[in-house]
A = this chain, B = another copy of it.
Amino acid sequence: MAVVVRGTQRTDLALVDTLGGFGVATIHEAQGRTGLLASRLRPIFRPVSVAGNALTCEVAPGDNWSIHVAVEQARAGDILVVTPTSPCDDGYFGDLLATSLVAHGVRALVIDAGVRDVAQLTAMGFPVWSKTISAQGTVKETPANVQTPIVCAGAYIRPGDVIVADDDGVVVVRREDAEVVRAACQGREENEHDKRVRLAAGELGLDMYDMRGKLKDRGLRYVEGTS
């Protein structure tokens, strides 16, 4: 009963790339602390940073058949996002599939399962965020959905939503919110630069953020240690 949805929308790549420049932590804050994938997804090499349109793909446990199906739906600038229909740590993905994805312009893989050939993937510079690394391969017996909305590592992701991933993790921005989030990130970043300069000069966050009164209201008190 698996379905492949063709011709789904993407977000404009210029906007995607601008979002990618802000990094995961800033985007997550800028969109009200939503959209983060679970922190069990970790990059196979660091440092790394990438952004792209979500190319979504479900896989059966121990079965990577639908990844092959997904490749045909790829467009330049996509990030393949794979979620198993039940939890699985098998190595669904290796250097052959990466070679195929690169040939179709896919920028990275995000997978809530395992990958293998990580030495080759690292040498290729192909970015991967995965739950684990495992040499355990998979079969090709059961197709699953491609380019439908999925839940991956606890986040709801639709085809063409924006994926940004870096050393800190992976975040999804809803396609229709991308422009608003970009603007919010811009504001945060300008603000952060100023703060960094002041903190580097030794100014306390307690003063810079004017926290002392509020802390007192919440019951914080100071006592002297016994020496």
Task: Spell out A's residues near B (CB within 8 Å).
Answer: 1-9, 24-25, 28-29, 32-34, 36, 38-39, 42, 46-47, 49, 60-63, 65, 68-69, 71-72, 85-91, 94-97, 99-100, 102-104, 114, 116-119, 122, 132-137, 139-143, 147, 149, 151, 154-156, 159, 166-169, 171, 192, 195-196, 199-202, 204-206, 209, 211, 215, 218-225, 227
Contact = CB atoms under 8 A, between A and B. Distances in A.
Contact of A134 (B99, B122, B168): B168
A32 B148 CA distance: 15
A104 B203 CA distance: 9
A227 B136 CA distance: 33
A196 B135 CA distance: 19
B103 A199 contact: yes
Given A62-B86, A99-B196, 13 more contacts: A4-B223, A6-B225, A8-B225, A9-B227, A25-B91, A28-B135, A46-B119, A60-B139, A68-B209, A68-B211, A69-B206, A103-B202, A141-B142
Given A99-B199, A142-B218, A219-B143, A36 B225 contact: no
A72 to B, nearest CB: 5
B204 A100 contact: yes
Given A63-B62, A147-B225, A192-B96, A168 B133 contact: yes
B62 A9 contact: no
Contacts of A46: 118-119, 122
Contacts of A38: 87
Contact of A9 (B42, B136, B225): B225
Nearest to A154: B151
B122 A47 contact: yes
Nearest to A143: B220
Shortest 5 CB-CB distances between A and B: which pairs? A61-B62, A141-B141, A39-B134, A135-B168, A8-B225
